[in-house]
Chains A and B, each alone.
Chain A
Amino acid sequence: MTSAPYAWIAAIVAALALLPLGTSSNTVLNFLSFAMIVTVAAQGWNILGGYGGQFSFGHAVFFGTGAYVMALAQVRFGLNPWLALPLAMAMGAAVGYAIGFLSFRARLRGSYFALVTLAFAEVFRISANAWGFTGGAAGVLVPLKLDAAQMQFADKRLFYWLALAFVAAALVLTAWIARSRFGAQLVAVRENEEAARALGVDALAIKLRAITLSGAVTAAAGCLYTQKFLYLDANLAYGPWISVEALLAPIIGGLGTVFGPLVGAVVLLGLGEVTKTVFANLMGGSVPGVDLVVFGALLIACVAYAPRGVLGLLQGWLASARKARA
């Protein structure tokens, strides 16, 4: 897989692009689009957490910043969403750089880094909830203008393809990082920061570059979210749900792999939907939280039995099947 990741990316993205041709069901298209948004957010987390080993518990801070900049640029300043997109990603990168600068310079890592990112996300959430400019607790509504020039599509498939294009770009970026000098240095810092530093790797600069990229990618997911739902409030944009899903998807799919976040997001959200449906049928009405109980159990099971995620399990099975045949 590592020998030709770009061919794999092309094949998988092509397969995903064909999916909506088989169905016109809104439920399926909404699910697929949402899975792609979570995948992009998770790809951002994976750059910092998977390759860099810095576990953030507050990636909502980037997602929310992207989402809010996207929405406010349109609503408050009348900016076209296609122009707001790079601006929002740049803001996500800037927030990433700022948080990284503060916390990595203070040598925070492990649990400390996780906690400080969580605290930053909370500060942003409370501020967005209190501040009039962001719409406060009432949130912000992007006016409906179904026009491709406004990044809004009457045909739900078009939005899905747009989100898929972002996923494809994130996959290519990750594959590039994985094979680049920067990626090798990032993995070296993850495995042993002191050793990496002794070999002349500027660990601080490497981690800063990772969190900046990570912030930009996850902010892009926030932009997609804004354009998909056209409504935001502080709990949607900066809430813990996206911090958790951005972290769970790569861990469940395969930490520090190109396709891990994509596989993880699809598995996670798919299982979530199945659980919700099963419980709704069993209990005769929807039960809030059951899907998240499954997510939590899946996280523990992965840490305990599949530290390399679903992809790691698959590779293990393939390898043992090959051995059995030989």
Chain B
Amino acid sequence: MLKLDIFLSALANGLMTGAVYALVALGLTLVYGVLHIINFAHGATLTAAMFAVFVMHSVFKVDPYLAIFILTPLFFGLGYAVQRFVIGPASHGDDSNILLVTLGLSIIIENALLAGFRSDTRSIDVPYGFSVVEVGNLFLSTPKLVAFAASFLVALLLWLLLARTDTGKAIRAVAREKTGAALSGIDVDHIYAVTFGLGAACLAIAACLLMPTFLVNPRIGNAFVLVAFTIVVLGGMGSILGALVGGLIIGVVESLSGLYFGESLGQIGIFLIFILVLLFRPTGLFGAKA
């Protein structure tokens, strides 16, 4: 009985962490689906967002959940500006250039944070940080449960935005056929930047949901970035459903392999999944094309 409880609690934890992973991956997969590029600065942007939550809380005494409403528009704006004024012009429309420019950005962000905050690990102290909800024999962390629910809500909102609004229609049009979209009067550069902004906004939300239970240091993004890439590759590049399912799978795999094989080998499991999927099924579970 006890063994089952441990298993179930690891499973529940994995699902809850996986939902936030999914949220991180959502931004990445959206940018990939539309711009057909891998945003290498995704992890560093998440780190920046987590530090923003940290500063908001420790300097301005803003609760992380309240910070969602400030940081999401802020990061949308930042993402928009970076794509429009840095990545777009600097890469001359070449894919490998975009990869290099986003690598450059990630190096700049990560090390600027290192220079500013030093390598200390920081966390924030909120009254509900350790509160739990009892479900049967399981004690589930309240902030993680909130993060789980909120991640699904964001995924739903993102899907509605893509499916139901004019901007969403324009984004889908650019993703499918950018020349055709441009010919029918869509400002492709603007749509690219909007998409990039949405990706960054997802990260701001993820950061606010993570910080009550997580810690941050300038290198934390690296831990997330390969996980996010794995999820995106596993779920299928560009697929929202894929990112959700992939996120949950990876969360559970990490949690269970951590339980059975220890922390460090659990990490290797994720990278091996990543390599195996890339080598043998690069379209992922829900991807339409290679």
Contacting residue for B275 out of A116, A287, A295, CB 8 A: A116
Q: Mark A271-304, 1 if CB is under 8 A from B, else 0.
A: 0000000010000000111101101111110011
Q: Mark B95-115, 1 if CB is under 8 A from A, else 0.
A: 111011101111110111111
Question: In the bound complex, how far is the Cα of B222 from the Cα of A110, in angstroms?
Answer: 20
Given A300-B86, A300-B101, A115:B278 Cβ within 8 A: yes
In the complex, identify which listed stretch (A70-78, A126-134, A212-220) lies at the interface while the others stay far away.
Answer: A126-134
Question: In the bound complex, how far is the Cα of B38 from the Cα of A279, in angstroms?
Answer: 33
The answer to whether B241 has its CB under 8 Å from any CB of chain A is no
Interface of chain B, helix or strand or loop or mixed? Answer: helix
Question: In the bound complex, how far is the Cα of B271 from the Cα of A299, in angstroms?
Answer: 27
Q: Which of A115, A126, A292 has the most CB of B within 10 A?
A: A115
The answer to whether B282 has its CB under 8 Å from any CB of chain A is yes
Establish whether residues B282 and A112, one from each chain, have CB atoms under 8 Å apart when the complex forms: yes
Output the nearest chain B residue to A122 by Cβ-Cβ distance. Answer: B271
The answer to whether B90 has its CB under 8 Å from any CB of chain A is yes
The answer to whether A57 has its CB under 8 Å from any CB of chain B is yes
Establish whether residues A112 and B115, one from each chain, have CB atoms under 8 Å apart when the complex forms: no
Chain B residues near A115 (CB-CB < 8 A)? 38, 229, 233, 274, 278
Chain A residues near B110 (CB-CB < 8 A)? 289, 292
The answer to whether B218 has its CB under 8 Å from any CB of chain A is yes
Output the nearest chain A residue to B91 by Cβ-Cβ distance. Answer: A303
The answer to whether A12 has its CB under 8 Å from any CB of chain B is no
How many A-B contacts at CB < 8 Å in the complex? Answer: 127
Contacts of B203-227 to chain A: CB distance below 8 A? 218, 222, 226
The answer to whether B279 has its CB under 8 Å from any CB of chain A is yes
Given A122-B226, A289-B115, A106:B278 Cβ within 8 A: yes
Given A111-B37, A116-B278, A123-B272, A296:B118 Cβ within 8 A: no
Q: Mark B63-93, 1 if CB is under 8 A from A, else 0.
A: 0000000000000000000000010011110
Establish whether residues B275 and A120, one from each chain, have CB atoms under 8 Å apart when the complex forms: yes
Establish whether residues A106 and B280, one from each chain, have CB atoms under 8 Å apart when the complex forms: yes
Given A114-B99, A115-B38, A119-B226, A289:B112 Cβ within 8 A: yes
Further pairs besides A53-B96, A287-B115, A303-B101: 7, Cβ < 8 Å: A55-B99, A102-B279, A115-B38, A115-B278, A119-B229, A119-B275, A288-B115
